[in-house]
Every structure is written in C-alpha cells, then in structure tokens.
Structure 1
C-alpha cells in the first residue's frame, strides 16, 4: 500500500510543483509567455538578416530563416531544459524538506513544464516561418519528432547529472558554464556537417547536439544527407549520465539539502 500511495502521490506533487513554477517563472509579468516566443523569433530574424547580407543562399535550402531556425531551436531547447533540470534542487530546496516531495518530483516538474513550453515555442516559430515563406519542403514528421525526443532525453540525462554536481560542488557550475560556451559554434547551427573539413568532422561528430541538429534537418529538408547520424550514440550519451545522476542523487541528496 505504501508503494501504491507513493505512485498515486507523485502526479499530484509534480502537478503542484509545475503550477508553482508557472507562477514564479512565466507569471511574474503579463508578457512572460509572450516573451518566451518573441525572444527566439527575434534572434532568428536578426541572424537570418545577417546571413543574407554575406551569403546568397544558405548552406541548404533557399531560406535563411528556416535554415537557422532548424539549428538554433534544437540547441536552445537543449540549453534551456538541461539548465532548468540542473537547477531543480536549488529551485525547490525549501519544498524538498517535506517527506512527500522528492528530488525526482522536482526534476520531473521542471522537465515537463519547460518541455511543454519549449516545444510550443518550437512549433509556433517553425510553423510561422513555413506559413510566411512557404518554402519547398517535404518534411518527415517522424524525424522531427525523433529529434525532439532526443533533445528531451539528452536534456534529462545531462541535467540530472549536473543537478547533483551543481548542488554538491558549486564551483563546478562555473566551470561547466565556461566549458559549454563553444557549443553554440560547434553544434552545426551555422553550417552543415558535410561542409566541414574531414578533420573537424571527426572531432565534432562526438558532439551529441550536432547529431540532433542533423536529425532535425534530415526531417525538415528532403535533400539533407544524414548518413553520419548515430541515434545510438546520442542515446548512450543521454542514458549514462542520467543513470549516474539518479544514482548519486538517491544517495546524497539529503546530504546536499542539510549540509550544503
């Protein structure tokens, strides 16, 4: 009965935590939800204009907005979700003192709420670009869905491990922030994998975000060559840190709460 009660309690706790974050994150100002859409759209518009000034056509297709959006949106979703999951304990530290609230509730609440928000932004921005410019596309919905699923899994995996590391070792948060800054340039947002020299291909192939951007573009552009993509590699890169993070959190999160 105790186990059944725990399972029944989890959705209620997660739902309450999601409502709390909605009020504190997006509900602080009337434009909170609107800004979540306008921010990525404005960034895509500015970069598309800059690209169009220096290049006649994008590396693939004929629309700079669509090309840039197909790269920056997956990257932005990953960065937002992984950062939100990484901060789950610090965000809900006061509530985690209650026996009915666990670290897993805090992680799931942040992951689910922000996933819904980011995926909504993705469909609004990408759908808006397609409606306005009407590019010549034969999209593969299954590939686009696969890319979003991989983003979700990678964000959960890296975010869960960092949730432990950030809380246990505060200095690591600064180190991680510095180490991940080059990802914007190394994730295939501004270029395609095949446009790189072979030496850079062999190095950047190990970046899972570049692989996910490739899956996204393989779903959007029918002419895209995604032969280099390894979904298995992305899965392993996501699952291993997820398991490590869950293991360490299950053992040490009480230490983090009461001694950090």
Structure 2
C-alpha cells in the first residue's frame, strides 16, 4: 500500500473540512446562501440610495452603484477572511483529536470558503448590473484580479496572526471585532482618496485597506487612477502579519492541539 504524502493528506483534510463548513453555515438555514451575500448587497443599496437622495450628481464617468459594489465586495471578503479565521481554532477544537487535522487546515478551509462566497456574491452583482444596464466593464481585468488575490493574502496573514493571538488572549479578538465597524467608513469604500481634503487624505492613507481598495477602483474604472497606492506599504502589511502569524503558530501548534 502506497503511503500518502503530507500534501495529499492536507488536501483530503481541507476538502472534508470545507464540506463540513458549507453544511454548517448554509445547509441548516433557510436561504443560507442568500444571507451569505446579503451584507454587501444591503450596504450598496443603502449608500447608493443615500447618495441619490442627497445629491443627483454622481461620480463622473462611472456608475456609483458599481463603484460601491466593488469596494464593499472587496471589504467584506477581507473582513470575513480575518473574522472567520479568528474563530477557526475554537470552532473546530473537537476535530483536533484526529491526528490528520491541524489547526492550520481549519484556517485554509475558511479562507477558501470565503473566496467561494465572494465569487457567488460577485456573480449576483454582475447579473444585477447587466440587468439594469450598469457599466461594469473593467479597465484592466488582470490587475483587478491581482489586487483581489493580494487582498486575500493580506487577510490570510492577518487572520492567522489574529487566530493565534485571540486563541490565547480573548481580548485581542474582541478588539479586532470592534475595529471592523469603523474600518467600513475609513477604507475609501464610498469615496475616493482624491476627493478628500489634503489633511484627511494624509491620515486615511495610513490605513492599508485604503491602498487595496484604491488599487481595485483605480484599475477597474477608466476615470480613476492609482496615484495614491503605495505598493511597498501594502507589501509590508502583507508580509509582516503573515510572518508573525506563521511564526507564533509554529511555536504554539502543540499547545492548541492539546488544549
């Protein structure tokens, strides 16, 4: 009998965990898949409605609902990756009795599931955009996909770091969850960095999420650009949390398995 490789075992475990996560999150709830994409859809409807009520003028050269949808879909993808990763260890603690299941596998599984949910949500928005004749054409498809993949890696790195810290220090997880709400308003989802006064522009650019959202918007819409995107700053925010997360995970994996 041929012995399976570590990677083959990893794939099998992730697939099994993935099916379990899908069943747990969506299989036991009516309209479970709808609620998975409802957050982004509700935010787009609310802010698009407020924009129309306050002013008939929209951003020149683009459909404001499309601008909102791209920002909110990206934000909720990142937010859900980080949030779901934080609770991955505690939610799957009983499965660690199986030797093949590692805590790291649970985070990978949840990240993959959030990407799948985001793809589903994006497909729904594309259908709605086509139905209402919105301009959903991308300026540079490859760069938009690169920005989204990069955002996922950033979320994964921050997620694994937060998962380890919040597992041993509950307060850390609570602080991270509290920060998610204000980030919704200071991540350039409903406006561009260029539209802000210089002093606010300088402050908001300390938020790494702003650079990712600006990158997505800049390469999506023909009338926008990426002049405020600092790729080096984004790289630091991607590598440092990922390194810290993996370092502390390797040091504490046995404690997580045995606790």
1:48-87 to structure 2, matched below 5 A, reads: 48-87=48-87
Query: Secondary structure of the equivalent of 2:191?
Result: coil
| Counterpart-to-counterpart distance in 2, 1:211 and 1:130 | 28
- Evaluate the alpha carbon distance shift between residue 136 and residue 89 of structure 1 in structure 2; reply closer, same or farther with a 3 A threshold: closer
Question: What is the TM-score normalised by the length of structure 1?
Answer: 0.91
The 4+ residue runs of structure 1 with deviation greater than 6 A are none
CA distance in 2, matches of 1:28, 1:226: 43
Deviations, residues 237-259 of structure 1 (Å, cap 9, x unaligned):
01211111111111113223434
Deviation at 1:4, TM superposition (A): 6.1
Residue 237 of structure 2 is matched in structure 1 by 237
Tell me the residue number matched to 2:203. Answer: 203
How far did 1:80 drift?
Answer: 0.9
Partner residue, 1:141: 141
Corresponding residue number in structure 2 for 1:158: 158
What CA deviation, in whole Å up to 9, does each residue of 1:71-94 have, x standing for no partner? Answer: 211111111111112221112111
* Range moving further from structure 2, 241-250 or 160-169: 241-250
Residue 36 of structure 1: how far off its partner (Å): 2.1
Residue number in structure 1 paired with 2:171: 171
CA distances 1:1-47 after superposition (whole Å, capped 9, x unpaired): x9962122110000000000000011112411123234422331222
Deviations along 1:161-187, whole A, 9 cap, x unmatched?
000011010111122222343211110
Residues in 1 aligned to 2:188 and 2:52: alpha-carbon distance in whole angstroms: 18
- Equivalent in the alignment of 2:91: 91
- 1:57–1:143 Cα change, 3 Å: farther
* 185 and 140 in structure 1: CA distance in 2 versus 1, 3 angstrom threshold: same
Q: Deviations over 1:201-237 (max 9, x none)?
A: 2221121211111111112211102111123321220
Structure 1: segments with no counterpart, 5+ residues: none
* Greater Cα offset, 29-38 or 169-178: 29-38
| Maintained 8 Å contact 2:103/2:256 | no
Q: CA RMSD in A?
A: 2.2
TM-score of the superposition, structure 2-length normalised? 0.91
